[in-house]
Amino acid sequence: MPFCYLNFPSARDDLLADVLAGLAACPKSIPPKYFYDEAGCQLFEAICRQPEYALCRIEQALMASRLGDIAAATGGVDCIVEPGAGDCMKVRRLLEVLRPSQLVVMDIAGNALATAAEKLAVDYPGVAITAIGMDFVHDLEAAAPHFSSGRRLVYYPGSSIGNFSPAEVAGLLARFRKLAGDNGLLLIGFDLKKDPELLHRAYNDAAGVTAAFNLNLLARLNRELGADFDLSRFRHYAFYNPVEGRIEMHLVSLEDQLVHVSGKGFQFNSGETLHTENSYKFRCDEFSKIAKTAGWDLSGEWEKDGFGVQLYA
């Protein structure tokens, strides 16, 4: 079957515009999608191997143990669509049991996606695979012409949905609804609310990998935008906000300093933070209510050790 890689226009201009706007805002912030350059992808893989960050291992165990039930609940699909597919490892289980004729994967880290998807094409020769290098949050609808006819399953595993506020989740799920079509499905994973101490340890691992991941964002800005961040003058800071129900990741300025990005200066005061990520946690009933407002009806749910997977039609 054919393999196709499509690379949408570079996100470089978006990166510059988003960074300049975020640094000029109060409080300062940068979208978490910019974590994932080559080094960032490697560091995230390392985070998933840390003993404190059990989410990935729990998700894998849940999917392995309940895959038959999940497959039966879908009733069969012709096409799987995975936004934010990354290394394309998670979708392999679904390809084994659902056996679709087409797979469409998307990710902002286009080069890494192309490499991973090409391996999939070798391992699953009966599946037509299309890989699209894109910021799917920005360009999701542009992927629609690349789908074949038939029933679609939108697959959004992991806990990436937590990077969006509840209002943003509703908007994204509504777009997934249109992407899936009238008889389409959504299979989605999310981290559940749990002991704040467990969450704190997960985002502050003893080996400092999450801290390196957070600081790598500044290294990327130095490399790609000619910025002059001194990484030693910033410190990773992550905590659980129980009122908002989310982990917040920040980079704290350790002193008063002036930082330049693309020729523009930005003042950081001592103790001021650059907000780099939110990771919302949900109860299952909270999430299903949000999905309902986006046009989805819950048709199956599975849970294991603080991680949830839900199927919607």
pLDDT confidence of residue 13:
57
pLDDT, tens digit (0-9, with 9 covering 90-100), for 23-46: 999 999 999 999 999 999 999 999
How far apart are the C-alpha atoms of 140 and 83, rounded to whole Å? 8
Contact 160, 56 (CB under 8 A): no
What's the number of CA atoms in the CB half-sphere (13 Å) around residue 279?
23
Q: Of the given ranges (55-64, 133-142, 273-282), which has the lowest mean pLDDT? A: 133-142
pLDDT for the residue 222: 98
pLDDT exceeds cutoff 60 at 10: no
Distances (CA, A) of 79 to 7, 153, 300: 20, 6, 19
CATH fold, domain 52-194+283-312, is Rossmann fold (3.40.50)
Confidence band for 194, pLDDT divided at 50, 70 and 90: very high
Res 90 pLDDT > 90: yes
Q: pLDDT digit string (tens) for 220-229?
A: 999 999 999 9
Length of the chain: 313
Query: What is the rounded average pLDDT of the residues 107-130?
Result: 93
The C-alpha atoms of residue 215 and residue 62 are separated, in whole angstroms, by 32
| Prediction pTM value | 0.94
Residues 103/82, Cβ–Cβ less than 8 Å: yes
What pLDDT shows up at residue 8?
Answer: 81
> What is the average pLDDT across 256-282?
98
CB 168 within 8 A of CB 138: no
> Tokens 């294991």 sit at which residue?
304
Cα–Cα distance for residue pair 7/84, rounded to 1 Å: 14
